Amino acid sequence: MWLKDSSIGRKLVMSITGTFLVLFLLFHGSMNLCLVIDDIFGTSAYNWICSMLGANWYAVIGTLILALAVVVHFAYAIVLTVQNRRARGNDRYAVEARQEGVDWASKNMLALGIIVLGFLVLHLYNFWFKMQFAELTGIETSMFDPQDGSAIVKALFTDGWCGIVYCLLYIVWLCALWFHLSHGVWSAMQTMGLSNNKWLPRIKVIGTVVATLTVGLFMVVILYFLGVNIGQMCA
């Protein structure tokens, strides 16, 4: 099957799964903004959204699809990286030295992806494990009600010095994600046909905008609770 056996097919699969994951991140980031709104105005929009996406069958199916997309995307990334290194052979270091027009993120996509994936595991433990998993299984995974996602998030990021460490870790994660997306988005668009000289500069700008918007949505929440935490410590 050419989607599995050819380089173009693998890149197309990575582009499709990557686009799907970016769309999810945009939704997830927009949802997380409700945490800030709730904390400022005393509303409960975030927990309402969580209740819609908790132990419902469609949320479980969505979670499984997301997990599959992540596995496929990462597996194909490894295959493509190994394939490219074999194709370059002993000359790969000389080739990399001559690639002045290739941005840093492009040459380090796998390393950035590993960082993103590693922090994703931490993120799943901090939130999915304590929310949807706990609600599905009935197992108590934290001191909080699994349906009170807002309290779980606040507790993590405003827990004194521990909260500061977590905020800094998430900032590092988001920086790696920005570099990964800034190249990945335009590379996916190029793979799907927008590769001529006229469109290439445009899709690079689009990639930067999408990466900045996606990461910015998450960063606002982290910086807000970092500020709240520091304010509480200084009070």
Are the C-beta atoms of 55 and 135 separated by less than 8 Å?
Answer: yes
Identify which has the larger pLDDT, 163 or 82: 163
So what's the pLDDT on residue 94? 46
So what's the pLDDT on residue 6? 75
Name the CA radius of gyration of the chain, rounded.
Answer: 20
Q: How confident is residue 175, by pLDDT bands cut at 50, 70 and 90?
A: very high
Eight-class DSSP state of 142: S
42-65: string of b/e by CB count within 10 Å (b at 16+)? eeeebbebbeebbbeeebeeeeee
So what's the pLDDT on residue 199? 77
Identify which has the larger pLDDT, 186 or 7: 186
All structural domains of the chain with their residue ranges: 2-234
Question: Mean of the pLDDT values across residues 2-22?
Answer: 82
Q: How confident is residue 2, by pLDDT bands cut at 50, 70 and 90?
A: low
* Tens-digit pLDDT profile for residues 97-115: 444 445 777 788 888 888 9
In whole numbers, what is the pLDDT of the chain averaged over residues? 88
| Overall pTM surpassing 0.85 (yes/no) | yes
**Angle at the Cα of 39 (from 57 to 119), degrees rounded to 5?**
60
Residue 187 has pLDDT above 60, yes or no: yes
Distance CA 154, CA 191 (A): 40
The CATH number, out of the four listed (1.10.3230, 2.50.20, 1.20.1300, 2.30.29), of the domain defined by the range 2-234:
1.20.1300
